[in-house]
Amino acid sequence: MLASIGAGSLEDLFAHLPAEVRFERTLDIPAGKSEYDIVNYFRQRASENATGYSSFLGAGVYSHYRPVLVDAVVSRGEFLTSYTPYQAEISQGTLTTIFEFQTMICQLTGMEVANASMYDGSSSVPEAALMAARVTGREGILVSRAVHPEYRETLATSVRHQGLHVVEYAYDRDSGGIDLEDLESKLDSTVAAVIVQSPNFFGIVEDVRKAAELAHKSGALLVVCFTEAVSLGLLEPPRDADIVCGELQSFAISPSYGGPFAGIIATKEKYLRQIPGRIVGETKDANGNRAYCLTLATREQHIRREKATSNICTNQALIALMATVFMTVYGKEGLRELAVQNLSKAHYLAQQLPRRFKGPFFNEFVVSGNGRPPEQINETLLTRKIIGGLPLGRFYPELAGGMLVCATEMTDRQAMDAFVGVFVAEEALAK
Amino acid sequence: MIRKVRPHITQNEPLLFESSSPGKIGYQLPDLDVPAVDPAAALGESNTRREIEGFPEVSEVEAIRHFSRLSTYNYAIDLGLYPLGSCTMKYNPRVNEAVARIEGLAWAHPYQPESLSQGAMEVMAVLENALAEITGMDAVTLQPAAGAHGEFTGILLIRALLESRGNPRKNILIPDSAHGTNPATAHMAGYQVRNLPSNDRGMVDMEALVRLCDEDTAALMITNPNTVGVFEENITRIAAILHGKGAQVYMDGANMNALVGIARPGDFGVDVMHLNLHKTFSTPHGGGGPGSGAVAVKGHLEPFLPVPRLLRREGQWTWNYDRPDSIGRVRAFYGNFGVLVRALAYIMAHGGPGLKNATMDALLNANYIRTLLEPYYDHPHKAPTMHECVFSDEMQAKRGVRTGDIAKRLIDYGFHPYTVSFPLIVHGALMIEPTETEGKRELDLFVDAMISIAKEVEEDPELVLKAPHSTRTNRVDEVTAARKPVVRWKPAADEA
Amino acid sequence: MYPDNYRYTKEHEWVRLEGDGTATVGITFHAQKELGDIVYVDLPKEGTALEKGKTMGSVESVKAVSDVYAPVSGEVVAINEQLAEAPEKLNEDPHESAWLVKIKLSTPDELKQLLSAEDYQTYIGAE
């Protein structure tokens, strides 16, 4: 091959690089390792992480069972090792599954149209806010303090230089849901979007209808965000919202120390052209057969460049496919049954613990302080091979004694009883 | 002659919603070990939905057949060369998939105690170091979820630096050969875009740069090698011009596969850059994601990196949130960890010398294709080829055949098309990037196919214009799709 | 092809002065041909004040977006609603039924700066 291109050696191929640019030494990275060594290395790293623990952590990342079919499908090289489906003729597999994904997201959220997915839930929130600003021509964003704290931080970083003003409104200290009075007092004709999460960060199911009424009264859009997608198997979808965004990690996507996940954006049909990201549409091929292709591409960066709706040029196709297979396997009945199991487990646990908030909850709730620091309770739980809840002081100083706990279908009764046992024993120590 | 493929049977497959039957299930849940709770009682009647209308109802075997059949409609790296220029479609080693699924890594919760996350944090720290060494930079953040997200992070860092010096400035210079994400990113970070023309060798026009670069310039966003596959030979001078005006140099690392082990951006004046781990470091594209857009910076930008940062304290890794100058978070948690695991596995498999070998093989393959196709396709920029080569359809256009038509005909020959009509500075571009993972046999098949198509254009242009002929789906009506968007399935009754 | 009683811009818009102090505005045959199959038209709202030379909307094909510039200053008094449902009309009849907006002129003198049909055709021939 070298001879056919007239080169004497591989080094000749970059001999034209200016001398001051060339890297003359060898990269300081240990010599190549065998497959066995690599597997061994990562097994060792994995053993330094938690394994074999029961966990009560949720807070945006949930432990749900992953049906084996999910990995069987996403491990197929045709899905795993293909590119973005720009060449529709040889990408109908990916395109069809995305079209099914978009449809299921609409069915799940009660919206009319959805895109092909976003990076994750946290990035879907600023994209929804920017979309609302485009639709309304306004600049104010009101976000509930009961929206995931890391989502709010992401929102602040992302929209800071795009002329939007983000203001937080309070949650109700009694119910744990949004404080409607505070929201109403902050609403005016400059507000583009009211953002509410349901179930919210504290696990509380929000009154979406009331929030929508208030938002719409002042001409703002209502953005409803979610982090626990399984809740939609049981909860009335936020039909009164204008934009629904959120995170699908619960749908067979491994917690994987925080990513990769997949976010969604869904909305009303009239806002279709304001959605960021990729969208798949149905059409026909030259033989008249049904076919799918990427569509409405003129919204995107490779055509509109600096005027694009977003700089995003990927979706999370493979992760969205995991969610699609998950939704298919569980289906209409299964997702509901799964949601009922989550609800039942969390309520079983909650009955034995002091709850901080009174609002209705799905599979997460805030446990009031019992006089002992939650970090201390967690230390004791660890000795029983249990990872406790998330101490809230880090994000909410006013809730410093409390912790956020979650129970899913994978949380067994024994672990919950052990959790309660430790909590009660620690309480006794406090007295 | 078509040598690589012949047609085979593929199964038809309706949409899930069309094949659903009421009551059919494909799941089994364990028995509930606690009392069942009545949803309406717990959540309130009005908060509870009766059913998810239209949701699929299929059996397990129907589900696996559905997705398996659909998968056969896709082309993939596992089936052959995927010569998309600027996309670096290289083989995705399966060991990477295996290690990312090890339980202690795949099931690590981002909020589990740091004492029980040391393995995950160590993986991230080792990867940060390796990427810093490869790029010649001082610090790396792994938080951004994709290349464009990395760009956005990088420009925010520049903005924060300039603000700390008293003035964020107004403009970002972007060469006309750049990816569309660059101007979109600059705009999202609150900057105006100023277009920088290329010269006839496909490189930055130095006179124009000197003219456009002033005290309002915040940064230059440059891709190197650029999208024509050419190394910017004046890169150190370019950087000096920017730095002379107090501006920063951002490098789009989309084409880093041409440089690993042979040149380091940190050594030629780049202040901040992103890497596409899904390109250079082999993590699978998965039909369009997930990716990872790690950002590497020089020391003066380090204080502004997103929170949290890894910190070594008393022999343990910890997350440091106490970073007063940080731009803040660009996403929840720490990054696309599962992708990071795969990228580190790739780096470990190669090691320092192996990474350089991979780069040289990528250059060899691109030069091989360029040399063999130059007699048949116009090659407008004569500068030396790095990891990809860009032809134009000038010779074929005389017969009414454009780059998009040649691309579609390649499909009949059993190949995924190259990148069509990009970069914008080449009229009718064919942008070909073979990567290092292709052997001579596959490259020769590709070259033969391209030469054969060139001959078809001369002898029977209609054959090329109507391609592809052998796919189960042929040319798709994108106009109707955009005029009357149908972006979800609806039951037939609703359509009427 | 290019009516003599219209005036044209180098950005490929046409203007037809109506008797009542308003002008009808569209894009030229040449413009729609360059764009190819038009799939979407974005128009200003009625009542919008337009300034000559500034963007007033856009026309999209599958893979391109073209801004439409206000050829004259004034207030938008009507928009062509049918284009929302049938953007293909812009390919079929750009000079008549597929007009974009009607503008109440604020500075009628601006019309004098526009090209005649002959000049426009010379311009696109030379382009």
Angle at CA A172, nearest 5°, toward A170 and A178?
Answer: 60
Q: In the A/B pair of chains, how many CB contacts fall below 8 A?
A: 635
Task: Report pTM.
Answer: 0.95
Give how far B119 is from chain A: nearest CA, Å.
4
Task: Give the three-class secondary structure for A19.
Answer: coil
Q: How confident is the model at residue C1 (pLDDT cuts 50, 70, 90)?
A: confident
Which chain C residue has its CA at the smallest distance from B480's CA? C39
Interacting residues of A201 by C-beta distance below 8 A, sequence separation 6+: A59, A60, A146, A147, A148, A149, A227, A395, A404
Q: Does A18 touch chain B (CB under 8 A)?
A: yes
Q: What is the DSSP letter of B48?
A: B
The string of pLDDT tens digits covering residues A156-165 is 999 999 999 9
User: Are A301 and B82 inside 8 Å of each other by CB?
Assistant: no
**One-letter amino acid for residue B425 of the chain:** I
Task: Report the pLDDT averaged over residues A38-44.
Answer: 98
- Res A85: pLDDT: 95
Q: Does B483 touch chain C (CB under 8 A)?
A: yes
The string of pLDDT tens digits covering residues A360-411 is 999 999 999 888 999 999 999 999 999 999 999 999 999 999 999 999 999 9
User: Are B479 and C60 inside 8 Å of each other by CB?
Assistant: no
Chain C residues whose CB is inside 8 A of the B419 CB are none
**One-letter amino acid for residue B102 of the chain:** I
Least confident of A145-149, A166-170, B186-190: B186-190
Least confident of A307-321, B31-45, B123-137, B459-473: A307-321
The yes-or-no verdict on residue B244 having pLDDT over 60 is: yes
- Res A363: pLDDT: 98
Give how far C83 is from chain A: nearest CA, Å.
16
Q: Does A80 touch chain C (CB under 8 A)?
A: no
Q: Does B482 touch chain C (CB under 8 A)?
A: yes
Contacts 24+ apart (CB under 8 A), A17-25: A17/B231, A17/B233, A17/B262, A17/B263, A18/B233, A18/B235, A18/B236, A20/B236, A20/B268, A21/B231, A21/B235, A21/B236, A21/B263, A21/B267, A21/B268, A22/B262, A22/B263, A23/B136, A23/B261, A23/B262, A23/B263, A23/B264, A23/B267
Interacting residues of B395 by C-beta distance below 8 A, sequence separation 6+: B376, B377, B378, B454
Dihedral sign (CA A286, A288, A290, A294): positive
Order of strands, sheet of C101-105, starting from the edge strand that comes earlier in the sequence = C7-8, C13-17, C22-27, C101-105, C74-79, C49-50
The yes-or-no verdict on residue B496 having pLDDT over 70 is: no
Residues 36-65 of chain C with CB under 8 A from chain A are 39-40, 60-65
Give how far A243 is from chain C: nearest CA, Å.
22
**Joined tokens for residue B367:** 């030069």
- Res A301: pLDDT: 67
- Res C7: pLDDT: 95
User: Are B482 and C88 inside 8 Å of each other by CB?
Assistant: no
**Of residues A273, A297, A307, nearest to C63 (C-beta):** A297
Q: How confident is the model at residue B71 (pLDDT cuts 50, 70, 90)?
A: very high
User: Are C65 and A273 inside 8 Å of each other by CB?
Assistant: no
**Of residues C39, C40, C64, nearest to A303 (C-beta):** C64
Q: Does B478 touch chain C (CB under 8 A)?
A: yes
Annotate A132-171 with b (16+ C-beta within 10 A) or e (fewer). bbebbebebbbbbbbbbbbbbbbbbbbbbbeebebebbbb
What number of CA atoms fall less than 13 Å from residue B361's CA on the CB side? 14
Annotate B281-307 with b (16+ C-beta within 10 A) or e (fewer). bbbbbbbbbbbbbbbbbbeebbbbbbb
Number of continuous H segments (helices) and E segments (strands) in chain A:
12, 14
The string of pLDDT tens digits covering residues B392-448 is 999 999 999 999 999 999 999 999 999 998 888 899 999 999 999 999 999 999 999
Phi, psi of A54 (to 5 degrees): -85, 145
- Res A153: pLDDT: 98
User: Are C40 and A304 inside 8 Å of each other by CB?
Assistant: no
Q: Does C83 touch chain B (CB under 8 A)?
A: no
Find out whether the peptide bond into B290 is cis, omega within 30 degrees of 0: yes
Residues 198-227 of chain B with CB under 8 A from chain A are none
Touching subunits for chain C (3+ Cβ pairs under 8 A):
A, B
**One-letter amino acid for residue A117 of the chain:** S
Q: In 3D, which of A156, A136, A99, A101 has the Cα closest to residue A281?
A: A99
The yes-or-no verdict on residue B63 having pLDDT over 50 is: yes
Burial of C32 (0-12, 13-18, 19+ CB in 10 A): buried
Chain B residues whose CB is inside 8 A of the C40 CB are 482-483
The string of pLDDT tens digits covering residues B156-167 is 999 999 999 999
User: Are A99 and B100 inside 8 Å of each other by CB?
Assistant: no
The yes-or-no verdict on residue B489 having pLDDT over 80 is: yes
Task: Report the pLDDT averaged over residues A266-285.
Answer: 95
- Res B201: pLDDT: 86
User: Are A99 and B487 inside 8 Å of each other by CB?
Assistant: yes
What number of CA atoms fall less than 13 Å from residue A422's CA on the CB side? 22
Residues 211-250 of chain A with CB under 8 A from chain B are 232-237
- Res B200: pLDDT: 87
- Res B495: pLDDT: 45
- Arithmetic mean of pLDDT over chain A: 96
- Tell the residue number behind the tokens 């002898």, with chain if given: B459
- Res A148: pLDDT: 98
Task: Give the three-class secondary structure for B351.
Answer: helix
Catalogue the E-assigned strands of B136-247. 139-141, 171-175, 192-196, 217-223
Check if the beta carbon of residue C42 is closer than 8 Å to that of residue C32. Answer: no
- Res B230: pLDDT: 93
The yes-or-no verdict on residue B118 having pLDDT over 80 is: yes
CA distance C121 to C127: 10
- Res B210: pLDDT: 97
Interacting residues of B323 by C-beta distance below 8 A, sequence separation 6+: B303, B305, B307, B308, B309
The string of pLDDT tens digits covering residues A123-146 is 999 999 999 999 999 999 999 999
- Percentage of chain C with pLDDT > 90? 82
Chain B residues whose CB is inside 8 A of the C35 CB are none
Task: Report the pLDDT averaged over residues B336-347.
Answer: 98
The yes-or-no verdict on residue B315 having pLDDT over 60 is: yes
- Tell the residue number behind the tokens 């499908």, with chain if given: A73
**Joined tokens for residue B133:** 């060494």
ipTM of the modeled complex: 0.97
Q: How confident is the model at residue C62 (pLDDT cuts 50, 70, 90)?
A: confident
Check if the beta carbon of residue C46 is closer than 8 Å to that of residue C77. Answer: yes
The string of pLDDT tens digits covering residues B247-290 is 999 999 999 999 999 999 999 999 999 999 999 999 999 999 99
Q: Does A401 touch chain B (CB under 8 A)?
A: no
Give how far B490 is from chain C: nearest CA, Å.
20
Order of strands, sheet of B248-253, starting from the edge strand that comes earlier in the sequence = B139-141, B295-297, B272-275, B248-253, B217-223, B171-175, B192-196
- Res B202: pLDDT: 86
DSSP-H helix ranges across A60-111:
68-74, 77-80, 92-109
User: Are C65 and A303 inside 8 Å of each other by CB?
Assistant: yes
- Res C19: pLDDT: 85
Which chain A residue has its CA at the smallest distance from B85's CA? A83
Task: Give the three-class secondary structure for B294.
Answer: coil
Check if the beta carbon of residue B339 is closer than 8 Å to that of residue B277. Answer: yes
Task: Report the pLDDT averaged over residues B361-370.
Answer: 97
Which chain B residue has its CA at the smallest distance from C83's CA? B483
Which chain C residue has its CA at the smallest distance from B482's CA? C39
Give how far A311 is from chain C: nearest CA, Å.
16
**One-letter amino acid for residue B490 of the chain:** K
CA distance A318 to A323: 9
Give how far B483 is from chain C: nearest CA, Å.
5
Residues 96-135 of chain B with CB under 8 A from chain A are 97-113, 116-120, 122-123, 130, 133-134
- Res C63: pLDDT: 78
DSSP-H helix ranges across B107-205:
118-135, 147-164, 181-188
User: Are B478 and C60 inside 8 Å of each other by CB?
Assistant: no
CA distance B351 to B441: 26
Touching subunits for chain B (3+ Cβ pairs under 8 A):
A, C
Q: How confident is the model at residue A234 (pLDDT cuts 50, 70, 90)?
A: very high
Task: Give the three-class secondary structure for B309.
Answer: strand
Check if the beta carbon of residue A367 is closer than 8 Å to that of residue A402. Answer: yes
